[in-house]
Amino acid sequence: MSYLVQLVLILVLTKLGAHLSNTLNFPSVIGELLVGVLAGPAVLHLLTPTSFTHYFAEIGVIVLMFIGLILSATSVSITVQVLKEMNHMNTREGAIILGAAVADDIMCVILLGICVSLFGTGAAAQSQSVGALALPKILFFILMLVLGKWFVPYFLRFFDKLNASENVATAALILCFGFAALAVSLGMSDVLGAYFAGLAISETSFKEKLALKIEPIGYAVFIPVFFVSIGLNITFKGMQHDLLFIGLLIIIAIIGKQFGGALGAHLFGLNLNEANIVGAGMVSRGEMALVVANVALSAHLIDQNHYTAMIVVTVITTLIAPLVLKLFIQRAQKEHSEIKQSRTKIDEVKS
């Protein structure tokens, strides 16, 4: 099958899968991911992993991480949809969820980059001193800080003055891929470089303008191929031996995020219902978990069975999270309504 036929199949099937998923009130990413599983070697054998899908998916994950901070936190895109639907976006809980999710994503990407550089394929941890290993990483973070604060705004303003079409969008993509290449050259993951490029641009006045330009480029072609490629790499062979592991991982994933998020929110003054909303809002793993699993597999940090287990856990928690969040929001709204009615009755009695 030629790469053009593969691309046509992927684009058609992902849009149909996303449509069906959205119709059933599930996130579109679930439909796109399941397209890869069903059409791939695990089920129908319509599509197989090739060098074309590999490189397209690599660009897709880089662009996904890049636009993550320009648009919103990648790990809570599903949570944001629920908050908007339940008219709970502009609340204290909503602000805490978004802020915590951004911090969560940043720490996740940094830790992922460090793990890949130290323990992944090609890491020379066995033959290098601690200083030789640490120096490039320290240099990387210094460069990200300096370039992000001073170079990126100047670079965007310079391109904005050029007499050519789509100057700023091109400049943003240059920064995205340039930062990714710089990260790789210093022994870090390319997604970490792309993420820092997005972080730097999100602090400039070009953020809103670029969000409208870059998002269609990513979600029209490259990002759907990335999600499908994840499904193509899934195998159910030997999965029966990992069912206990998957079950425990799901329980830990949900309870850990729910309890940890709720406890932290409660310690900062939120009541029990509000704290539970924050905890439920942090449960969804979303796109970030898919990125972590993909990078970990590519760097041989995990094997194929654990990769499949991580994807299954991500899908299940992503499906469960909106339901749990809606439950806690409805409970909070009901309690708020009852308190309001009680106060109204008390005022009527007093009057």
In a domain, 49, yes or no: yes
In a domain, 273, yes or no: yes
In a domain, 344, yes or no: no
- Between the alpha carbon of residue 238 and those of residues 33, 42, 172, 203, 243, the distances in Å are 21, 12, 43, 47, 10
Confidence (pLDDT) at 157: 93
DSSP calls for 48-72 = ---HHHHHHHHHHHHHHHHHHHHHS
In a domain, 89, yes or no: yes
Residues 54 and 69: their CA atoms lie apart, in Å, by 24
In a domain, 207, yes or no: yes
In a domain, 100, yes or no: yes
Confidence (pLDDT) at 195: 85
Confidence (pLDDT) at 3: 86
Residues 12 and 7: their CA atoms lie apart, in Å, by 9
State mean pLDDT over 297-316: 85
In a domain, 171, yes or no: yes
Number of Cβ within a 10 Å radius of residue 266? 16
Q: Which CATH number characterizes residue 86's domain?
A: 1.20.1530.20
* pLDDT tens-digit series, residues 312-341: 888 888 778 888 888 888 888 888 787 777
Residues 217 and 53: their CA atoms lie apart, in Å, by 17
Structural domain count of the chain: 1
DSSP state of 239: G
Domain around 303? 3-335
Provide the whole-model pTM. Answer: 0.77
Q: What long-range pairs does 154-160 form, CB within 8 A, spacing at least 24?
A: 156/201, 156/204, 156/206, 160/206
* pLDDT tens-digit series, residues 249-276: 889 988 988 999 999 988 888 888 889 9
* pLDDT tens-digit series, residues 121-159: 654 444 555 566 667 778 888 999 999 999 999 999 999
State mean pLDDT over 59-78: 71
Confidence (pLDDT) at 78: 66
Q: What interhelical angle do 243-267 and 92-119 show, nearest 10?
A: 130
- Between the alpha carbon of residue 253 and those of residues 14, 259, 310, the distances in Å are 27, 10, 11
Confidence (pLDDT) at 16: 94
In a domain, 260, yes or no: yes
Query: Which helix (H) or strand (E) segment is 288 a member of?
Result: helix 286-298
Confidence (pLDDT) at 124: 46
Q: What is the largest CA-CA distance in the chain?
A: 82
Nearest to 279 by CA among 86, 96, 74: 96
Percent of the chain at pLDDT > 90 equals: 17
Number of Cβ within a 10 Å radius of residue 98? 18
